[in-house]
Structure 1
C-alpha cells in the first residue's frame, strides 16, 4: 500500500489530537501559514555579499550543513541551531541561512514545497533583515529539551502502518537570545521558543531528512 501524503497524515493526526483534547489540528500546526510569494532560490553555501580584502577573513556558512545521522533527536537539535543561529552583520541574507535545512529536505521531493514555506516563517523577511542589520542584530538558541511528544505514539498507532517508516516528530524547546545596538547602546533580549520538527530516518532513508516544521510556538505535545 502506497505511503500516505501529508494531507492524509494530517487527517489521522487531527483525529488523534482531537481525542487528546488538544486545541489545534496537526495539519495546521505542521504546515504553518502559506507563503504569499515564491521564496528566492538559496544562494550557494559559502557565498558572501562582496569580495573581501586580502587581509579580511572570509566568512562562510559551510559549517551549517546538517549532520548525517540516524538519530532523530540529535538531528532535530541541529535543525534548531541552523534556523536560529544567525548574524545580520556578516553580509548574508535569510535565504543563505535557510539553505542548509532546505538542502536536506525529503529526497522524494513531496514535502519540499511545504518545507520552503515552513522555513520562511522562522526567519525574518528580507526587509526585516535589513532593518535588523542596521542594528547589528545577532541571534542564537539555547536548547532546553528535544523529545518525541506523547501524542506522536498515538498518531503512529492510528496510522495503522501507513506512515512512512522511520517518520518521527521531535518537539524542541529552548530560549532565543538576541543582541544588537539600539540608539548607540548595546541591547539584549531573550524569549522562550518551542516547535516540532517532523523527520524521516531509517529504514526509509539511510539517514535522517527533514520533512516539515510546525508553526513556531505551536508545538506537538
Structure 2
C-alpha cells in the first residue's frame, strides 16, 4: 500500500474512532433526552416493608394535583417536577392521568410525546391504581440531594455546537419515596430510596408586567426523565 494512502487510512480510522467515542459519551451522558424509562416498577401491596415514623406528607389528604411552577431557578423547578412525579393520592377522585397532566403542562413541545411516556413510567398504571384505591394509598417524596451530575457536565463539554438546546441542564435527585394506606383496619407505611435525573431547559424571558415593571425571569420546561433508579452520576 502506498505510504500516503496508509497515512490517510490511519487518519480516517482515528477520526472515526474519536467520533464514535464522542457519540458514545454523549449517548451515555444525555440518554434521558433520547431514551425514557422503558420499565415500570410493579405496584407493591401497601403491606410490604411496613415502617413507622415516616415524615408526614407535604400536602393534606385528599388534595388534588398541584400545578408545577415554571418560573424560577432551574434547581427549584427540578424539585417541583420531582415532587409532582411522586405526590399522589388515590382517595381524592383524581387518577394517574390527572397527575401526569400537571407535568405535561410544563413539558417542552419538542419532547412532549417522549416525556409523557417517561412520566407514565413513574406513575401507577390504571390497573395498579385500582388495586391501590381500596387501601386508600397515597404517596409523596422527601428529597435528600439535588445535584448536576458529573456525567452531564462531561457530556456538555464534549457536545458539538447546537447538539444540546440552549439552557439545557440536568439534575440528579436522590430521596425517599413514602407510601401510606391501610391493610385491613391497620394503617401501614412504606419507604424506599429512589434516584433519578430530570432534564430541563431554562431560558430568561421578560415578565408580562407592563414597563417599567417588566423584568427578566427564568422560565423552565421539562425535557426528559431518566429511568427510575438509573440516574446520571
CA–CA distance in structure 1, aligned partners of residues 173 and 198 of structure 2: 8
Q: Which residue of 2 aligns with 1:82?
A: 84
Is the contact between residue 17 and residue 151 of structure 1 (CA under 8 Å) also seen in structure 2?
no
Determine which of 203, 209, 220 is the counterpart of 2:221: 209
Could you say which structure has the larger radius of gyration? 2
Is the contact between residue 29 and residue 218 of structure 1 (CA under 8 Å) also seen in structure 2?
no
CA–CA distance in structure 2, aligned partners of residues 71 and 199 of structure 1: 11
State the Cα distance separating 1:16 from its structure 2 match: 4.7
Q: Which runs of 4+ in 1 moved over 4 A?
A: 27-30, 203-206
State the Cα distance separating 1:211 from its structure 2 match: 0.6
Quick one: structure 1 residues 29 and 165, their matched pair in 2 at CA, closer, same or farther if it must change by over 3 Å?
A: closer
Quick one: structure 1 residues 13 and 137, their matched pair in 2 at CA, closer, same or farther if it must change by over 3 Å?
A: farther
Q: Provide structure 2 residue ranges, at least 5 long, that are not aligned to the other structure.
A: 1-20, 41-61, 206-216
Is the contact between residue 86 and residue 139 of structure 2 (CA under 8 Å) also seen in structure 1?
yes
Q: Which residue of 1 aligns with 2:18?
A: none
CA–CA distance in structure 2, aligned partners of residues 112 and 94 of structure 1: 17
Quick one: structure 1 residues 174 and 100, their matched pair in 2 at CA, closer, same or farther if it must change by over 3 Å?
A: same
State the Cα distance separating 1:185 from its structure 2 match: 1.0
CA–CA distance in structure 2, aligned partners of residues 219 and 13 of structure 1: 19
The structure with the greater share of residues assigned to strand is 2
**Over aligned residues, Cα RMSD in angstroms?**
2.6
CA–CA distance in structure 2, aligned partners of residues 138 and 13 of structure 1: 42
CA–CA distance in structure 1, aligned partners of residues 104 and 67 of structure 2: 10
Q: Provide structure 1 residue ranges, at least 5 long, that are not aligned to the other structure.
A: 1-10, 36-58
Q: Which residue of 2 aligns with 1:61?
A: 64
CA–CA distance in structure 2, aligned partners of residues 27 and 14 of structure 1: 14
TM-score by length of 2: 0.70
TM-score by length of 1: 0.74
1:124-135 alignment to 2 at 5 Å?
A: 124-135=124-135
Quick one: structure 1 residues 28 and 68, their matched pair in 2 at CA, closer, same or farther if it must change by over 3 Å?
A: closer
